Amino acid sequence: MALDLVLLGPPGSGKGTQAARLTETYRIPAIATGDILRAQVDAGTPLGQRLRSYLDRGELVPDQLVVDIIRHRLSEADTEAGFILDGFPRTVPQAQALDAMLSDLQRPLDAVLYLQTDRQSLLDRLGQRHRQDDRADIADHRIDVFLEQTAPLIGYYRDEGKLRLIDGAQPPDAVAAAIDDVIRPLVGAGEAPKTRPTAS
Ligand code: ADP
């Protein structure tokens, strides 16, 4: 059975760190729209130049653009066993587009893990990174963008019964353990055969 996950959380909440770990553990690809967009910027294509203006200002790029990227990416064979979306969806229209895509593929999301983290922890962590858009004023703006445009997804996925709250302010290992507690029942660990074969 496929394991289809979304990591939801503000900038600096540790989505990338946890996505990397989940990829290792469950052997499913992590798909980070931020990484895909930055690769376009680095490639210096005309599209990349257009994207740069959004990324540098800490604004979201237009929905249609990221929806197309995700549609294309989810059609690749390595997503068959599942995927971890990191940084997508980020708006209600993106979430609706994802639901439509996955319903066509008859593979609804298994869970949306919301890494809840207080603003000061976020700013402290972002201050330690060295990405262009982690400059204090832009990082601050990105948190506002999260609160305005992405936080409505918390209610959206709660209504769908998919939301799982994780305390993202804990150290990475503790966050990972909390995520594992949520995922273990989803991957059928609870469906072990009643009589386990014993070594003889
Ligand atoms: P973080 O989670 O730390 O903010 P990301 O790498 O996920 O970092 O995103 C960096 C930037 O990429 C965002 O500020 C935004 O400009 C753009 N971006 C990433 N994902 C999306 C998305 N789903 N929709 C719109 N813009 C996005």
Question: Can you give the pLDDT at residue 8?
Answer: 98
Q: Is the pLDDT assigned to residue 60 strictly greater than 60?
A: yes
> How large is the average pLDDT for residues 189-197?
51
Least confident of 38-52, 55-69, 124-138, 185-199: 185-199
**161 Cα–ligand 1 center, Å:** 25
Question: Can you give the pLDDT at residue 188?
Answer: 77
Q: Which helix or strand (DSSP H or E) is residue 32 part of?
A: strand 30-32
Question: Can you give the pLDDT at residue 1?
Answer: 78
In the chain, the percentage of residues whose pLDDT exceeds 70 is 94
In the chain, the percentage of residues whose pLDDT exceeds 90 is 92
Question: Can you give the pLDDT at residue 196?
Answer: 52
Q: Is the CB of 143 under 6 A from ligand 1?
A: no
CATH, domain range 3-187 = 3.40.50.300
Question: Can you give the pLDDT at residue 189?
Answer: 58
pLDDT tens digit sequence for 28-48: 999 999 999 999 999 999 999
**68 Cα–ligand 1 center, Å:** 15
> How large is the average pLDDT for residues 132-159?
96
Domain boundaries, the chain: 3-187
Question: Can you give the pLDDT at residue 192?
Answer: 46
Q: Which residues contact 23 (CB under 8 A, 6 or more apart)?
A: 29, 30, 84
| 8 Å CB contact between 88 and 70 | yes
Q: Is the pLDDT assigned to residue 159 strictly greater than 60?
A: yes
What residue type is assigned to position 25 of the chain?
Answer: T
Query: Which residue from 169, 163, 175, 152 is spatially nearest to 118, judged by alpha carbons?
Result: 169
Torsion sign (Cα): 150, 133, 115, 147: negative
Q: Is the pLDDT assigned to residue 200 strictly greater than 50?
A: no
* Atom number, ligand 1, closest to the C-alpha of residue 35: 6
* Atom number, ligand 1, closest to the C-alpha of residue 142: 14
**106 Cα–ligand 1 center, Å:** 27
Q: How many CB atoms lie within 10 A of CB 118?
A: 12
For residue 145, the number of C-alpha atoms closer than 13 Å in the C-beta half-sphere is 17
Query: Which residue from 9, 7, 18, 12 is spatially nearest to 128, judged by alpha carbons?
Result: 12
Cα angle, residue 183 at apex, residues 178 and 188 outer, rounded to 5°: 145
Note if the bond before 185 is cis, omega within 30 degrees.
no
CA-CA distance, 113 to 128, in Å (whole number)?
A: 24
CA-CA distance, 181 to 186, in Å (whole number)?
A: 10
